[in-house]
């Protein structure tokens, strides 16, 4: 039976570009699907949770459709890749929209670049959102980093950044006036702030690694 990778669709983001990239690199017998149905997410062998937009809109859509529970179940049981907003809402809360309760998979908060950069004299010269190419420094080995050189460039678009409580959750760090967590994870979960499907060779290699990952961390 063919393995399935399901891309969670909660109504925000260019999911087709993620699907096309995965179809290009996944094993030949893999079926890549985009779905907004919790039952389909639960049946998947691997789950990708990408997203764009505001945290409050994301969480509202997830709760209204029941995808929030399906995502939490997937996090507990199968290889899981969070991308951009799909990384941020894995934490407990976000400062966005005046404060938003998130999925609480990992301890930590999502914070505003504006407040952090305003505290730095040089930081005021940096634009928000953080948009464009920047490096990711891998803080340790992981199956999804395989074949990706240290400090490779990835493509970012975001105004808020993840700040997990536990240092062990940090898998990658990027500097934009301040160092921030640009990749995090634990066990079968890997999440990245950048957009792998837009990140040229490094991003495509990360998606290829995920399509073959058994969910075991080093």
- H helix count then E strand count, the chain: 7, 13
Q: What is the secondary structure of 119-184 as a DSSP string?
A: TSTGGGGS-SSEEEEEEEEE-S--GGGTT--TTEEEEEEESEEEEES-GGGEEEEEEESEEEEEEE
* Active-site hit among 96, 142, 197, 208: 197
Residue from 84, 96, 130, 142 carrying the catalytic annotation: 84
Considering 130, 142, 158, 195, which one is annotated as catalytic?
A: 195
Q: Which three-class secondary structure state does DSSP give residue 210?
A: helix
- Tell me whether residue 195 is one of the annotated catalytic residues: yes
Look at residues 144, 164, 116 and name the one whose alpha carbon lies nearest to residue 210. Answer: 144
Residue 216: half-sphere exposure toward Cβ, Cα within 13 Å: 3
Residue 105 structure tokens: 């998979």
73 classed as catalytic: no
Question: Is 58 labeled as catalytic in the residue annotation?
Answer: no
The residues carrying an active-site annotation are 84, 195, 197
């Amino acid at each position: 039976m063919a393995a399935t990778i399901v891309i969670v669709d909660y109504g925000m983001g260019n999911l087709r570009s993620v699907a096309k990239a995965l179809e290009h690199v996944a094993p030949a017998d893999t079926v890549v699907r985009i779905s907004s149905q919790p039952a389909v997410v639960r049946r998947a062998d691997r789950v990708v949770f990408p997203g764009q937009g505001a945290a409050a809109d994301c969480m509202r859509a997830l709760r209204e459709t029941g995808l929030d529970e399906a995502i939490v179940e997937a996090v507990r049981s199968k290889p899981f890749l969070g991308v951009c907003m799909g990384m941020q809402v894995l934490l407990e809360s976000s400062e966005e929209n005046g404060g938003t309760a998130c999925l609480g998979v990992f301890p930590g908060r999502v914070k505003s670049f504006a407040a952090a950069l305003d505290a730095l004299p040089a930081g005021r010269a940096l634009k928000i959102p953080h948009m464009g190419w920047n490096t990711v420094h891998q803080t340790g080995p992981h199956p999804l980093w395989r074949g990706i050189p240290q400090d490779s460039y990835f493509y970012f678009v975001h105004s808020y950044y993840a700040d997990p409580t536990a240092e062990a959750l940090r898998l990658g760090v990027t500097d934009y006036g301040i160092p921030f967590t640009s990749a995090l994870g634990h066990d079968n979960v890997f999440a990245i702030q950048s957009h792998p499907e837009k990140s040229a060779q490094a991003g495509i290699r990360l998606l290829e690694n995920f399509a073959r990952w058994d969910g075991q961390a080093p």
